[in-house]
Each structure stands twice: as C-alpha cells, then as structure tokens.
C-alpha cells in the first residue's frame, strides 16, 4: 500500500463510514427519485467502506515470509499482486464483503422504513401507521431470516474460496 | 589435523579474486568480497559483520555455523538479495547480486509454502514465474515429487501436511527452479529430532544427485559437520569468520550416519569447532 494512496483514501473512507446511511439516502432520493436507483447506490456506498478497510488490513497483514519466498522464486511486481498479494489477503477481503453485505442490507431496509419506499422496510412502516403489529413482526422475521440465509451462503462460499483461513 | 588453527581467519588472497572475476567461466558459485553490513543509522548503528570474504565453489556444500547475532542469517539475506551490503560486493555465478532472483533458491526456517496453492502448484510456482509452459512445468514437478515421495500428497493443501513434509515441499519448491545455489536458513531447526535426521539424510542425497551448491546456515555444529563439505564458523559482536575448514572425509561415497559417528577425525573436528566458538564467545561476552 503506497503511503500517498493511504493518505488520500484513508480519510475519505473514514468520512464515508461516519455518515449514517439514512443521512445520505435523503440526498440520493432528491437526486435520483424513489425508484431502484437510489437503493442501488445506497447499497454500493454502504458496502464500500467495510470492504476497503478489510482489504487494506488484509494487505498490511500479509506475512513478509510469503513475499520473500515468492521473490526468491523469481516472482516480480505484477505476478506478485496476482499470485501472492490478492490470494493472501482474500480471507480478510471476504470478511469485508460479508460485513459490507450486512451493512448494505440493513441500510436499505432502514432507509425504506423512514422514507416509505416500497420494499419490506416500506411495508413495516405502513403497518406501523395502521398499528398492524402482526405485519410488523412478520416483516422483521422475514428480514432476520433472509439475513440468516445470506450469511449462511456467504460463509459456505468463504470456506470454499479460502479454506486455509484459521488453519495457517 | 589438516585444518588450520581455529583462531586464525583464513582469507583468500586478492589475486585469487581478480583471477576468478577475469575468467567468466570460473568455478565459483558465490563470491562475497570484503562484505560488511551495518544495521540502522547514526549513533544507533550496529555492525552485523565486517570484511567477510567467502567463496563457494560450484557443487560445494558449505555449512555456516555460529551463535545467534553472528550475522550468518544476514549474510544469507545479502546473498539472496533481500538486503544490500553496506560495503563490498556479492557475485553469484559471475553476476553481481542486486536483488532476489530465481538463480538463488532459498529455504527458510518456516516452510513459507503458499496455503492458497496445492503442494503441486507450490512446486510449479518457480517454473511458472520463469514462463515455462504448463506441460513442461508438470514434468518438472512430477520428477521432483517422485524424488522425495511427495507424489501422494501433490493435490493436497500445504497445511494438511506434517512439518517434515512441508519442509520437504519447500526444498523441492526451491529446487524446481534449478537454482545455481541453494541457500538454507536453519531449515530443520523447527523439526523434531527424528524428522530432522531424515531430512538431513535426504538433503545429502539430493545434493549428490543434483550437484547444486548449497549454503546451509545452522547453529548446530553437529549438523554443520554432518552435512557440509566445508565449515565456516562465525563469532558474534561483531560478526566475523573465525574458521573456514574443509571437512576431512575419508570416503565421499559413504555418507551414512553410522560412519559419520564412528569417524574420529570428524568427531574431533566437531569438538574443535565447538571449542573455538565457545572461547570466542567468552572473549567477547
């Protein structure tokens, strides 16, 4: 990680991370309306920081042993990135993706409940207006359960992609 | 005894160097000429070692032995090219070392196998980096896997292997590049005694078959004498070569552990090295 890139990207990511998604979702609605576009953008913006933070920490945490071994085997800059740096930080990148998807998911739903945009969050908000406790509970259950499934799948994929995580 | 006084530093004359560098097809695998290395800057600067001269002939198996802090690992790092010497120069196979390269294989104390690759992919890594095509790579790997009995675990993940197997694979990975010299930094020190002995024997047999020059760093005098054809002993604070002797083997063919243990000449050489390392340690401590 170059110090310059770190100096520019670091504060920008931290700035973004400190913003509650609800705050900038208002801006996205003003700019893009209430259809799917602002939701997509919200997903991306919310998921971005955890992935970047995890990737940077993954890259910084690579054992110099791997890099040194690769260099003595004739590995140079470009192949060092593709053969060593990326695979070595893959476990952390994956953890970042899992966190990012979680954050993105809850951000969108939370935004829906506030702004009443169609979706499960929107349904919960409408149900609250009419005091329909059962619908609110159902909505919450669906959200929790879908999160559970999503996490289960991601965990499985992570085990397949980075089986050495926690072993080495 | 036909080895020199242990307290005297055996240096090679300058004329020997100029003669060898003038002749491009010389038989030196490694030449370290007046190499000094310092750590840090300013007042905190520390000398790792000063004015080390070391030449390794092609096909030689040199053991570098000494206590920690004598700079033996630093010397290896300079030859492999991780660091540049403060003064002096290192020449491998007629070319000055400016950085790590495939002509110098390295085996570390830790196996450093890549866990995201299978054992086979690890061994093929070096050839892949030098642009050798897949079928050729497979052939090289197959030969090597056969050589040390790693064939059955070729498809396995590296972390599924025992410590001894992992270190075997690491040696094979380095050898797959067919390096001019193989540098080994205490490769067996993390293994249990039985596995260590087995790997020592396998290394001797690998060395006789491939005829690669080996520079083997260890802190065990026994290991150094058992493996090497030449011993370089170093003392610490500051690092300095105190002894550079040929191992007087009666029979180069018979390298069994039994005959090594019965060979009085080798056992007394071992004693001699231990004593000189101990006395210099006392002098400087």
Any B CB within 8 A of A77 CB: no
| Confidence category of residue A165, pLDDT binned at 50, 70, 90 | confident
Expressed as residue numbers, the domain containing A24 is 3-161
- Shortest distance between the Cα of A159 and any Cα of chain B, in A, equals 12
CB B159 within 8 A of CB B115: yes
Domain ranges in chain B? 20-103+180-245+277-284, 112-178
Nearest to B112 among A65, A90, A162 (CB): A65
Where does B20-103+180-245+277-284 sit in CATH, by number? 3.40.50.300
Mutation target among B79, B83, B115 for the A interface, most CBs of A within 10 A:
B115
Interface test with B, best of A70, A73, A81, A87 (most B CBs within 10 A): A73
**pLDDT score recorded for residue B225:** 95
Partners of B92 on chain A (C-beta within 8 Å) are none
User: Do the Cβ atoms of B125 and A75 come within 8 Å?
Assistant: yes
CA–CA distance, A48 with B170 (Å, rounded to integer): 38
Tell me: the pLDDT tens digits for A7-64?
888 888 888 888 887 788 888 888 988 777 888 888 888 888 889 989 989 999 999 9
Tell me if B173 and A168 make a contact (CB, 8 A cut-off).
no
Given an 8 Å threshold on Cβ–Cβ distance, is A74 in contact with B102? yes
Interface test with B, best of A64, A71, A72 (most B CBs within 10 A): A72
Share of chain B above pLDDT 70, in %: 89
pLDDT, tens digit, for every residue of B223-277?
Answer: 999 999 999 999 888 888 989 999 988 777 788 898 898 889 999 999 999 999 9
Residue A167 lies in a domain: no
Least confident of A49-63, B4-18, B196-210: B4-18
- Establish if A85 belongs to a structural domain: yes
What pLDDT band is residue A104 in, cutting at 50, 70 and 90? confident
Q: What is the domain count for chain A?
A: 1
CATH code of residue A67: 1.10.3720.10
Nearest to B157 among A71, A88, A164 (CB): A164
User: Do strands B46-57 and B61-65 pair parallel, antiparallel, or not at all (unpaired)?
Assistant: unpaired
According to the model, what pLDDT value does residue B148 have? 79
Instruction: Indicate whether A166 belongs to any domain.
Output: no
Residue A168 lies in a domain: no
Question: Nearest to residue B217, comparing CAs of B38, B65, B26?
Answer: B65
A30 touches chain B (CB under 8 A): no
pLDDT at A152 over 80: yes
Number of CB atoms found within 10 A of residue B7's CB:
11
Does a structural domain hold residue A41? Answer: yes
**What's the half-sphere exposure (Cβ side, CA atoms, 13 Å) at A26?**
5
Number of residues assigned to chain B: 285
- Would you place residue B282 in the very low, low, confident or very high pLDDT band (cuts 50, 70, 90)? low
Looking at the complex, does the CB of residue B106 fall below 8 Å from at least one CB of chain A?
Answer: yes
Is the preceding peptide bond at B238 cis, omega within 30 degrees of 0? yes
Confidence of residue A2 (pLDDT cuts 50, 70, 90): low
Closest chain A CA to residue B174: A73
Please write the tens of the pLDDT for every residue from B14-46: 333 333 444 445 678 899 999 999 888 778 788
Residue B152 scores a pLDDT above 70: yes
Query: In this predicted structure, what is the pLDDT of residue A110?
Result: 83
Q: Angle at CA B194, nearest 5°, toward B190 and B198?
A: 95
Q: What is the pLDDT of residues B158-188, one digit of tens each?
A: 999 999 999 999 999 999 999 999 999 999 9
For B106, name the nearest residue in chain A, comparing CA atoms only. A72
* pLDDT band for position B283 (cuts 50, 70, 90): low
Q: How far apart are CA A86 and CA A103, in angstroms?
A: 23
Specify the pLDDT at position A65. Answer: 92
Helix axes B134-147, B163-175, angle to 10 degrees: 130
pLDDT band, residue B6 (cuts 50/70/90):
very low
The answer to whether position A58 is within a domain reads yes
Residue A100 distance to chain B (closest CA, Å): 24
Interchain contact, B110 vs A65, CB within 8 Å: yes
Residues of chain A in contact with residue B77, where contact means CB-CB under 8 angstroms, are none
């Amino acid at each position: 990680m170059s110090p310059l890139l770190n100096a520019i990207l670091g504060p920008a990511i931290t700035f973004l991370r400190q913003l509650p998604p609800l705050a900038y979702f208002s801006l996205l609605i003003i700019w893009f309306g209430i259809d799917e576009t602002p939701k997509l953008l919200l997903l991306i913006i919310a998921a971005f920081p955890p992935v970047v933070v995890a990737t940077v920490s993954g890259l910084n945490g690579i054992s110099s042993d791997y890099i040194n071994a690769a260099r003595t085997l004739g590995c140079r800059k470009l192949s060092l990135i593709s053969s060593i740096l990326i695979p070595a930080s893959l476990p952390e990148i994956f953890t970042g993706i899992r966190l990012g998807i979680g954050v993105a998911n809850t951000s969108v739903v939370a935004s829906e409940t506030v702004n009443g945009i169609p979706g499960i969050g929107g349904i919960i908000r409408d149900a609250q207006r009419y005091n329909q406790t059962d619908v609110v509970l159902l909505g919450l259950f669906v959200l929790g359960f879908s999160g559970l499934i999503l996490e289960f799948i991601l965990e499985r994929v992570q085990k397949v992609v980075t089986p050495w995580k926690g072993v080495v | 005894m036909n080895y020199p006084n242990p307290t005297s530093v055996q240096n090679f004359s300058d004329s020997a160097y100029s003669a060898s560098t003038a002749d491009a097809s010389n038989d030196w695998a490694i030449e370290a000429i007046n190499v000094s290395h310092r750590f840090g800057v300013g007042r905190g600067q520390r000398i790792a070692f000063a004015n080390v001269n070391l030449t390794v002939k092609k096909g030689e198996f040199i053991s570098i032995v000494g206590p920690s802090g004598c700079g033996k690992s630093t010397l290896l790092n300079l030859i492999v090219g991780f660091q540049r010497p403060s003064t002096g120069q290192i020449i491998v196979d007629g070319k000055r070392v400016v950085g790590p390269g495939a002509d110098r294989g390295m085996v570390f104390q830790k196996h450093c196998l890549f866990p995201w690759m299978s054992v086979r992919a690890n061994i093929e890594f070096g050839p892949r980096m030098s642009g050798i095509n897949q079928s050729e790579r497979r052939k090289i790997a197959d030969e090597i896997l056969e050589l040390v009995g790693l064939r059955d675990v070729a498809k396995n993940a590296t972390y599924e292997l025992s410590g001894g197997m992992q270190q075997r694979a690491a040696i094979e990975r380095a050898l797959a590049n067919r390096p001019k010299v193989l540098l080994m930094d205490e490769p067996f020190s993390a293994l249990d005694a039985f596995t260590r002995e087995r790997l020592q024997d396998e290394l001797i047999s690998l060395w006789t078959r491939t005829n690669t020059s080996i520079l083997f760093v260890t802190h065990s005098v026994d290991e150094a004498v058992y493996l090497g054809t030449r011993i370089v002993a170093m003392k610490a604070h500051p690092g300095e070569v105190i002894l550079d002797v040929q191992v007087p083997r009666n029979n180069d063919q018979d390298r069994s552990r039994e005959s090594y243990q019965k060979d009085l000449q080798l056992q007394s050489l071992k004693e001699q090295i231990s004593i000189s390392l101990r006395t210099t340690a006392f002098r400087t401590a």
